[in-house]
């Protein structure tokens, strides 16, 4: 280690130690790193930029749901996923966000990072709305799986969407999903389109909310329940009544 590196390391440790000493909210270790119950969960947020996302005001959902979700789930790292017709191939991206960078007053810094998450999610939504407006929910969930951040506990994914798949591959608005047999036939044909989400919990905000026919909405819910009961999906849990 060079003399300059030692100086930089010493200055950084000094800053952290000063932050620890000035904070009454947390205890510090000898290296100046906060040792309180830090948020460590791996989390993701999917933002629906399709036409239905406009119907249920996805931007307002981001503003009213995301911060509290991140705090309640004790999220330490957050990945961002756009949902439109492209989804997993969309050019709209936001960098993964560290929600606990361990500098300064931990409570204030974490609150600021959660606000930054809202800013990034809204920016991603705005970008994705400029692409095609079909709804590739499967693709968005595949991307959520492939960009899963490091962290403890089940992967918590806030899905700001009605989860109505509507593109050329699977269109829940026109396909027959009214019986277990019809749904099973579609699920069996998905192949590599099936997202693999092991040790994951999905929290959809508006599951089937925009469908005028309640029976059709129930069929959409049954589709996801049955898909996520397959080994190919990794058997994630979906909180049907979260929103």
Q: Where is pLDDT greater, at 119 or 210?
A: 119
pLDDT at position 36: 57
Pick the residue with more confidence: 122 or 169?
122
What's the chain's average pLDDT? 88
Distance (Å, whole) CA 87 – CA 90: 5
Please give the residue range of the domain that contains residue 61: 37-238
Residues 234 and 167 in one domain: yes
Q: What percent of the chain has pLDDT over 70?
A: 85
243 within domain boundaries:
no
Shared-domain flag, residues 167 and 58: yes
Q: Are residues 47 and 32 in the same domain?
A: no
Q: Do 18 and 48 lie in a common domain?
A: no
* Same domain, residue pair 53 and 16: no
122 lies in the same domain as 186 = yes
The alpha carbon dihedral of 201, 185, 173, 131 has a sign of: positive
Quote the pLDDT of residue 51. 85
With a cut of 50, say whether residue 140 has pLDDT above it: yes
Instruction: Output 6 or 68, whichever has higher pLDDT.
Output: 68
Let me know if residue 144 belongs to a domain. yes
Residues 161 and 151 in one domain: yes
28, part of any domain = yes
Q: pLDDT (tens digit, 9 = 90+) per residue, 160-198?
A: 999 999 999 999 999 999 999 999 999 999 999 999 999
CATH assignment of the domain containing 186: 3.40.50
Whether residue 56 sits in one domain with residue 148: yes
Is residue 180 domain-shared with residue 222, that is, in the same domain? yes
Domain identity same for 25 and 58: no
Give the pLDDT band of residue 205 (cuts 50, 70, 90).
very high
The structural domain count of the chain equals: 2
Residues 8 and 64 in one domain: no
Do 75 and 148 have their domain in common?
yes
């Amino acid at each position: 280690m060079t003399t300059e590196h030692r100086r930089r390391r010493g200055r950084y440790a000094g800053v952290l130690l000063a932050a620890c000493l000035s904070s009454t909210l947390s205890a510090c270790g000898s290296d100046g790193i906060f040792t309180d119950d830090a948020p460590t969960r791996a989390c993701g947020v999917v933002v629906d930029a399709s036409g239905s996302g406009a119907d249920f005001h996805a931007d307002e959902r981001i503003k009213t749901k995301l911060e509290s979700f991140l705090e309640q789930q004790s999220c330490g790292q957050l990945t961002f996923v756009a949902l439109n017709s492209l989804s997993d191939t969309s050019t709209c991206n936001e960098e993964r966000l560290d929600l606990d960078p361990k500098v300064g007053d931990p409570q204030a810094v974490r609150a600021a990072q959660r606000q930054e998450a809202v800013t990034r999610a809204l920016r991603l939504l705005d970008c994705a709305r400029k692409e095609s407006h079909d709804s590739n929910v499967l693709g968005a969930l595949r991307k959520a799986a492939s960009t899963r951040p490091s962290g403890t506990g089940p992967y918590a994914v806030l899905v700001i969407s009605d989860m109505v798949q509507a593109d050329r591959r699977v269109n829940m608005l026109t396909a027959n999903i009214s019986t277990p047999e019809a749904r099973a036939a579609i699920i069996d044909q998905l192949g590599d389109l099936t997202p693999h989400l092991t040790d994951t919990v999905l929290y959809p905000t508006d599951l089937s909310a925009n469908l005028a026919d309640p029976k059709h909405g129930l069929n959409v819910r049954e589709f996801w329940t049955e898909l996520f009961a397959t080994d190919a999906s990794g058997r994630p849990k979906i909180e049907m009544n979260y929103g």
